[in-house]
Chains A and B, each alone.
Chain A
Amino acid sequence: MGTQMRGTAAPGRTPTSLSRRSRTKGGIGESTLRPDGTLKVIGEFAYSSDLWHEDMLWGFTLRSPHPHARITSIDISKALAQAGVHAVLTHDDLPTAHTQYGLEYTDTPVLADGVVRHHGEPVALVAADHPETARRAAAKIKVDYEPLPVVHDEASALADDAPILHPNRDDHHAGHVPHPNIVHRQPIIRGNAAEAAKRADVIVTGEYEVGMQDQAFLGPESGLAVPAEDGGIDLYIATQWLHSDLRQIAPVLGLPEEKVRMTLSGVGGAFGGREDLSMQIHACLLALRTGKPVKIVYNRFESFFGHVHRHPAKLWYEHGATKDGKITHMKCRIVLDGGAYASSSPAVVGNASSLSVGPYVVDDVEIEALALYTNNPPCGAMRGFGAVQACFAYESQMDKLAEKLGMDPVEFRQKNAMSQGAIMPTGQIVDSPAPVAELLRLIKAMPLPPEKQWETARGAADVRALPGGLSNTTHGEGVVRGVGYAVGIKNVGFSEGFDDYSTARVQLQVIGGEPVATVHTAMAEVGQGGITVNAQIARTELGVTQVVIHPADTQVGSAGSTSASRQTYMTGGAVKNACEAIREKVLETGRRKFGTYHPAWATAELLLEDGKVVTDSDEPLADLVDVLGDEVIDIELQWRHRPTEAFDPVTGQGFGHVQYSFAAHRAVVEVDTELGLVKVIELACAQDVGKALNPLSVKGQIHGATVQGLGLAVMEEIIVAKDAKVCNPSFTDYLIPTILDTPAIPVEVLELADEHAPYGLRGIGEAPTLSSTPAVVAAIRAATGLPLVRVPVRPEHITGT
């Protein structure tokens, strides 16, 4: 793609890739600063929770205290009677017969429809003039529940007498799942694992478990719905994908999509947790019912119930290897808990299975991954989904194999590492650089942090440098150091045949005597810096310094989701593509106006640089201002990555992923072996980023992803009891890393271009989340000698108490 507008028979040639460095300041490759930085540091950036409207009401959601129950009656009269309350809504008040939504399957009730399937499921809504009034009124709604038996793990979900959570499935996987409580199952068979196992000198098996992690973005779910005079609605919202929300919202409201106008407001982080809807439809329903603007802001407690989490997983692995350290085969079975609704479980299954081997060459594999429906909290997108769980297991296996063979764990990995040209278990050939061995070499070569940094000149230990920190639990006694390595592979972009595209509208005109480009996309800026990069791309392609980023909204075509490490590739690609079309128009106009003055207009390769049309040998031909005059060039184009295809439902074969991304970590930890406390001293990362469009932002992504992986390794887990109730929905009990828990993170970046991607770039946001976790756990194993098969590792796993 990327050629739609190039049919205009132009005599000159327009380069579609820049073979030389652009001179225009603030272009790609520079660490330009965020355009929203100033507003963010002065406190004036408007997050979705900051919005305010004259006459606005506050919405509140009543949620189920039961994980599985039939609703026998709902009495809203007391709530409605409370002063200040404007509306109370239940399922019966929904305006149309379309009462469910969902990312992949339409299986999630907007408000509980006679049955609740998880703890915290929305049952009723209140709008009132003060948030506290709304909260108190919600407490007066009387709901009678008749508890139903709970499905909470594989055994209970697939038992003969298991309650079927979604008896009338009509989704596209319903026909080939072995049990209706399985959302999706993806086997992959390649080669002959049983036969290959006979060649193995050693065989290593393991059972691993990954706990339920939360995205824990700091800005809670929130937004403001304003009813419009035309009967439609204006929704200001923090989301990852405006158009996907729109597709799910409009039919529930009974409105055509053009009457649901969405604008992105400030987003306080996302990490996958805003890919599904939360309060979007609820706020719109209340606003349409009351005729007043309605704002909903979750508090932290509610936020833990208001979005999907990372799938907890159980993983069974078997690997074999020959004496000289070559992996013979791999068998695995990965069971992901999808919770009560499908969300993105099918895609998570696809990732877990197709990436279950890791970045290694293994020709003979037998793989099965599946996601369950249970009464646990729904799970879906979180940074690195599917790949994170698998990486913890296969990297644990790599260490086990290396140990059994008496080999160095890094050398063993390097011996089996994939490189460009390798074949994935899906049969797909990796057709761009895959420098796995090199990344491992890079992190191993980094100098190790000095030992015993708690020792001070004065002799007293600096407890801040020790496990336990200021709790002053040790002065160095019983503290042992360990070093661990891991590497991972993540797909980039939407896979398995999904029609993945983004849209960019770019305008070029003269304003105040200067050429100015305006870039309009629906891309959700969630903190990653996509708006910075989009502006850089426009500068590079159009040779202008002034770039205006138009707010993201649904007045322009879809940008797809800010997830799957895809936005720089996809919306960056779309902006580049639209700019190329604009450049073509500029040159056309230039040739018309000035072509007779200089032969180079017809013969040379022309570029836009520093506000001028120049030849490829840097000869200026005209100022952009003169070429443009009063003309406004305005182009909106869709852009697609090369197509992928679905995995075969039986063999799992298929060109399923558009690009792969690789990162490796080395963790250095110190463990207080008596108390089981872990201090991560350093967490070094090496990653191939293809091309760093903004090196500062690239490092920011690597740091952030690394620390989320650290969190999963030793701190973060939503505890769900056997009765499927959530035990720790608060930052008091769900711990994310603080600055004290976070070590130094030295970063090495490789830039090996992927010829299929814009500028050769690689999606980078997720890969470092994968390898961080197993590296930390490997380091703890090295320090303690314990097997540690479950994350997060807790003190009692180390002390054995």
Chain B
Amino acid sequence: MRLTFRVNGRQQQADDVWEGESLLYVLRERLGLPGSKNACEQGECGSCTVRLDGLLVCSCLVAAGQAQGRDVVTVEGLASQAKKRADGRSGGADGRTGKAGTDLQPLSPIQQAFIDAGAVQCGFCTPGMLVAADELLERNASPTDADIREALSGNLCRCTGYQTILAAVRLAAARGTADTAGTADTAGTGG
């Protein structure tokens, strides 16, 4: 089947998609966006987390067909997503994306915070963590530790022991959620 949907703000098309293919497979293998990771294919690890019409989903559990006509945001689009939200409030320009919807923007605040706090080791959990953490900060500008734990409880990390991940989310929140969290009207529509 043919599939048409928006990824990170760009219209994308995939042909010859099998019935059983997951959204994750289409993103990774057909659209050249391998940022979303596959660590279990069973909805248990969160490394494939993306946003589908603003909602967090495990893309390994979403049949590709379900994405037809909808908006998807992956880790590759997080920076333009953040820029767009910031611009949305200040009335700025549209975020640009490069090849296959990869960001040309500087890092989003949550991405920068993950680097600065040492929240990245092997980095395999990072894309999913970032998408989930970004979504948290969008709806809760100053989350408590309990809020962060709850929001990231579906994302496994085997390397960090989560301490620096907590620190990174706190850091991004403290640095000013102005750049991170969107307003309700622009948030989560995948831009």
Could you tell me which A residues sit within 8 Å of B by CB distance? 31, 33-34, 36-38, 40-47, 49-50, 52, 130, 132, 215-220, 266-271, 297, 299-300, 462, 464-465, 470, 526-529, 696-697, 699-700, 702-708, 730-732, 736, 738-740, 742, 744-745
Contact = CB atoms under 8 A, between A and B. Distances in A.
B164 to A, nearest CB: 6
B159 interface: yes
Interface in B35-78: 35-42, 44-45, 47, 74-76, 78
B124 A218 contact: yes
Nearest to B29: A52
A740 B153 contact: yes
A299 B118 CA distance: 28
Given A43-B76, A268-B39, A218 B118 contact: no
B37 A268 contact: yes
B114 A41 contact: yes
A38 B115 contact: yes
Contacts of A40: 120, 123, 126
Nearest to B47: A218
Interface string B73-98: 01110110000000000000000000
Given A42-B35, A49-B37, A217-B122, 4 more contacts: A38-B115, A269-B158, A699-B164, A739-B162
A45 to B, nearest CB: 6
Given A268-B124, A269-B122, A704-B158, A33 B76 contact: no
Given A218-B47, A269-B159, A464-B146, A42 B122 contact: no
A641 B48 CA distance: 42
The 8 closest A-B pairs by CB, nearest first: A43-B35, A527-B122, A703-B161, A40-B123, A268-B124, A731-B44, A707-B161, A50-B34
Which size class do B's interface residues fall under? 35 or more
Contacts of A462: 146
Contacts of A217: 122, 124, 158
A465 B161 CA distance: 18
A interface SS class? loop
A49 B28 CA distance: 10
Given A700-B164, A730-B42, A736 B111 contact: no
Contact of B121 (A46, A529, A730, A745): A529
B124 A740 contact: no
Given A299-B41, A699-B118, A42 B103 contact: yes
B75 A43 contact: yes
Nearest to B151: A739
A268 B162 CA distance: 16
A41 B111 contact: yes
A739 B42 contact: no
Contact of B125 (A50, A218, A526, A700): A218
A43 B114 contact: no
Given A41-B120, A268-B123, A700-B121, A732 B44 contact: yes
Contacts of B28: 50
A41 B121 contact: no
A44 B156 contact: no
Given A42-B111, A462-B146, A218 B156 contact: yes
Interface of B: 18, 20, 28-29, 32-42, 44-45, 47, 74-76, 78-79, 102-103, 107, 111-112, 114-116, 118, 120-127, 130, 146, 148-150, 152-166
Interface centre among B28, B32, B130, B161 (most CB of A within 10 A): B161
Contact of B161 (A37, A529, A704, A740): A704
Contact of B156 (A41, A42, A736): A736
A546 B141 CA distance: 38
A622 to B, nearest CB: 36
A706 to B, nearest CB: 6
A42 B75 contact: yes
Nearest to A683: B161
Contacts of A31: 118
Most A CB within 10 A of own CB, among B29, B123, B130:
B123
Contacts of A220: 38-39
A526 B122 contact: yes
A44 B76 contact: yes
A731 B158 CA distance: 12
B156 A738 contact: yes
Contacts of B44: 300, 730-732
B111 A704 contact: no
B79 A42 contact: yes
A33 B36 CA distance: 23
A707 B130 CA distance: 21
A36 B121 CA distance: 9
